[in-house]
Chain A
């Protein structure tokens, strides 16, 4: 096999958006997706009573909720990496046990990469956003760098 130097995927750290973790006991009739993994607007449904809101619209969404709810701003808690390229599924498969090939574009999930809990959002067939707690980010990033060298070497 011919070795190449292109891993076919890039990893870019994104500037932190506004991030709000939202808990609502009963989301019936509220502007929130209720299927776990679904995204509507700025809201990703992580669990039956838990959402991650990202971006400039997050605060407005919270302000419009009839309540009761719990909303905590966690913008600086996590680091988001943009993973992009034809080998993005190979890169994620080095640490994530989920079948990500079957994850629909426009959906998300909380899962694991190696031993770190992460939130993945599939933005396109070959583009994911991975959000990981700040203290785990150097570990995840170091594993990505190793995996990218392995993919580039044809392993």
Chain B
């Protein structure tokens, strides 16, 4: 079982306490009524779905109940970092070391 570091509990805790909650850093449009149907569709449904480093939301639902963000490498399922929901996106190269 994976251990996930909760940035609010400040502990490594079992995956079963957590729930995945989709891609992170998706900004809601300031004025949705100004968007075309295609732009609204992209906001709602179109995601990056990368093979590799992915920024995503998780919720410690069976714990402190907070949403937070994580950087996960989707091939090996390795968590590179987790950070609080109000913190900025971390720099990928500082997490993966050799990434260019």
Contacts and interface: CB of A to CB of B under 8 A. Distances in A.
A117 B1 CA distance: 18
A76 B13 CA distance: 29
A97 B64 contact: no
B14 A98 contact: yes
Given A36-B9, A47-B8, A97 B66 contact: no
A109 B64 CA distance: 8
Interface string A40-59: 00000011101000000000
A110 B8 contact: no
A125 interface: no
Interface in B64-94: 64-66
Q: Is the interface of B mostly helix, strand, loop or mixed?
A: loop
Given A36-B9, A37-B9, A97-B1, A47 B65 contact: yes
12 contacts: A36-B64, A46-B64, A47-B65, A48-B64, A50-B64, A97-B1, A110-B63, A110-B65, A111-B62, A111-B63, A112-B16, A112-B62
B65 A46 contact: yes
Given A37-B9, A47-B8, A111-B17, A117 B64 contact: no
Nearest to B61: A117
- In which size bucket is the chain B interface? 10 to 19
Interface string A98-133: 100000000001111000010000000000000000
Interface of B: 1, 8-10, 13-17, 62-66
A46 B1 CA distance: 23
Nearest to B15: A97
A50 B62 CA distance: 13
Contacts of B1: 97
Contacts of B15: 97
A117 B62 contact: yes
Interface centre among B1, B9, B15 (most CB of A within 10 A): B9
